[in-house]
């Protein structure tokens, strides 16, 4: 009975995690609705365009997928970048690489990377669902991250009146 | 591309992987972590290969689905910056995990290639990251051998 309750709780936690991840991503998708390719390419005040924000989220999920897979197999999280300048430099490098991609592909890539993260979470053992097992790309890290980037995009749209 | 040709690509990667296995044979965590004159250790070479296989996995999936390469051919400086950042980032991993991570990422690439539509693998717009990475592994097996010679390990 206790074991069954434990399994049920784990399933509930997993489902809650997936629901929160999905809700946060919905904010991102809502924030970019009806933007044109040209609008998405326009650099905002912080230097990143909407497309840069999207490509950044994709890259994070690509890394997150492998981090979850690594921890699921009993390994350590590989990514331990100090926040601040080193992380900013890494993010900038990746975003710069992807700046040429059309927005349609940026969104397709975003969705694909997220589908793999979701699959990885669905198949992950309990130890890989613990955020403490990660440093930079935690299993639940995309929730706050998506919400923050969605807010940045909304703020930019508001300032641009679009 | 026929299935057997896809298999040939995978076998090419398997052969390159055996080259890496031979190059790192007999190393322990301490020896694999010693950095050579150019700043990288054997472990650094492994985590570097792993990162690019991780990116390659998504690149293959992206291109066979009809998309463009997300890593275009860029300046050496841009790629070098990513390389150094990633290697520094993963330096804390134990050697055994670096080996396991490389094997896992490589398997993911093999899966993506084996499931790819043939014409996209041939006609796809691969740029900085090739579809299989065998040549990259062969190059780094050579670098590792040279590093071991330099350090007498």
Name which of A70, A92, A119, A123 to mutate to probe chain B: the one with the most chain B Cβ atoms within 10 A of its Cβ: A70
pTM, to two decimals: 0.88
The pLDDT of A38-47, averaged and rounded, is 87
Looking at per-residue confidence, does B117 or A43 come out higher?
A43
Q: What pLDDT is attached to residue B1?
A: 47
**How many domains does chain A divide into?**
1
Checking if the pLDDT of A7 tops 90, the result is: no
The shortest CB-CB distance from A93 to any of B85, B90, B104 is to B85
Per-residue pLDDT of B65-85, as tens digits, reads 888 888 776 767 778 888 988
**Is the confidence at residue B139, as pLDDT, over 60?**
yes
Q: Is the pLDDT of residue B118 over 80?
A: no
B101 contacts on A by Cβ (under 8 Å)? 66, 70, 75, 78
* A–B CB contacts, 8 A cutoff, strictly below: 78
Residues 6+ apart with CB under 8 A from B103: B17
Q: Using one digit for the tens of pLDDT, what is the confidence trace for B2-32?
A: 567 788 889 999 999 999 999 999 999 999 9
Q: Look at residue B3 in the predicted model and tell me its pLDDT.
A: 60
Which pLDDT score, from 0 to 100, does residue A159 have? Answer: 92
Pick the more confident residue, B45 or B122. B45
Query: Does the structure show a pLDDT above 90 at B126?
Result: no
Q: What is the pLDDT averaged over residues B124-133?
A: 81
| Residue A71 neighbours by CB distance under 10 Å | 23
Task: Find out whether A109 and A65 touch, Cβ atoms under 8 Å.
Answer: no
The predicted model gives B108-126 an average pLDDT of 81
Do B71 and A97 count as a contact with CB atoms less than 8 A apart? yes
Give the confidence band of A4 by pLDDT, cuts at 50, 70, 90: low
Q: What is chain B's Cα-based Rg?
A: 16
pLDDT digits (tens, 9 = 90+) for A94-133: 898 888 889 999 999 999 999 999 999 999 999 999 999 9
pLDDT of residue B35: 95
SS3 category, A95? helix
Pairwise CB contact (< 8 Å): B78 & A80: no
In this predicted structure, the answer to whether residue A8 has a pLDDT above a threshold of 60 is: no
Residues 22-61 of B with CB under 8 A from A: 47, 50, 54-55, 58, 61
* CATH at residue A91: 1.20.120.450
Q: How many CB atoms lie within 10 A of CB A158?
A: 9
Identify which of B68, B74, B92 has the shortest CB distance to residue A101: B68
- Rounded CA-CA distance B58/B115 in Å is 13
Question: B3-151: CATH homologous superfamily?
Answer: dinb family like domain (1.20.120.450)
Chain-chain contact of A76 with B104 (C-beta, under 8 angstroms): no
Per-range mean pLDDT, top range of A65-79, B43-57, B113-127: B43-57
Q: Count the neighbouring beta carbons within 10 Å of the beta carbon of residue A124.
A: 19
Out of A66, A96, A102, name the one closest to residue B105 (CB): A66
Tell me the average pLDDT across A57-82.
91
* ipTM, 2 dp: 0.83
By the 10 Å C-beta count (0-12 exposed, 13-18 middle, 19+ buried), B24 is classed as buried
- In which domain, by residue range, is A114 found? 2-160
Decide if B97 and A98 are in contact by the 8 Å CB cutoff. no
Alpha carbon distances (Å) from A52 to A41, A141, B113, B149: 8, 19, 28, 44
Mutate which of A72, A78, A113, A116 to test chain B, going by most B C-beta atoms within 10 A?
A: A78
The answer to whether A105 contacts B67, with C-beta atoms less than 8 Å apart, is yes
């Amino acid at each position: 009975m206790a074991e069954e309750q434990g399994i049920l709780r784990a399933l509930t936690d997993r489902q809650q995690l997936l629901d929160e991840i999905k809700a946060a991503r919905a904010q991102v998708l809502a924030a970019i609705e009806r933007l044109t390719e040209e609008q998405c390419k326009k650099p905002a005040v912080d230097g990143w365009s909407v497309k840069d924000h999207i490509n950044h989220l994709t890259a994070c999920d690509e890394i997150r997928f492998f981090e979850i897979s690594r921890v699921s197999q009993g390994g350590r999280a590989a990514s331990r970048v100090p926040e601040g300048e080193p992380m900013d430099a890494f993010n900038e490098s990746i975003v710069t690489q992807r700046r040429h991609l059309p927005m349609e592909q940026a969104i397709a890539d975003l969705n694909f990377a997220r589908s793999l993260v979701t699959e990885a979470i669905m198949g992950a053992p309990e130890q890989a669902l613990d955020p403490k097992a990660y440093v930079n790309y935690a299993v639940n890290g995309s929730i706050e991250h998506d919400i923050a980037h969605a807010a940045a995009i909304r703020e930019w749209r508001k300032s641009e009146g679009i | 591309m026929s299935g057997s040709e896809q298999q040939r690509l995978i076998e090419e990667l398997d052969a390159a992987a055996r080259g890496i296995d031979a190059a790192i044979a007999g190393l322990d965590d301490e020896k694999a972590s010693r950095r050579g004159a150019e700043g990288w250790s054997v472990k650094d070479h492994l985590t570097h290969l792993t990162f690019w296989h991780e990116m390659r996995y998504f690149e293959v999936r992206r291109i066979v689905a009809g998309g463009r390469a997300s890593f275009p051919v860029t300046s050496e400086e841009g790629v070098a910056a990513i390389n150094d950042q990633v290697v520094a980032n993963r330096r804390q991993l134990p050697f055994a995990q670096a080996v396991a991570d490389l094997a896992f990422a490589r398997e993911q690439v093999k899966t993506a290639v084996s499931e790819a539509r043939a014409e996209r693998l041939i006609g796809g717009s691969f740029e900085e990251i090739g579809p299989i990475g065998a040549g990259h592994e062969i190059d780094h097996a050579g670098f590792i051998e040279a590093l071991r010679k330099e350090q007498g390990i």
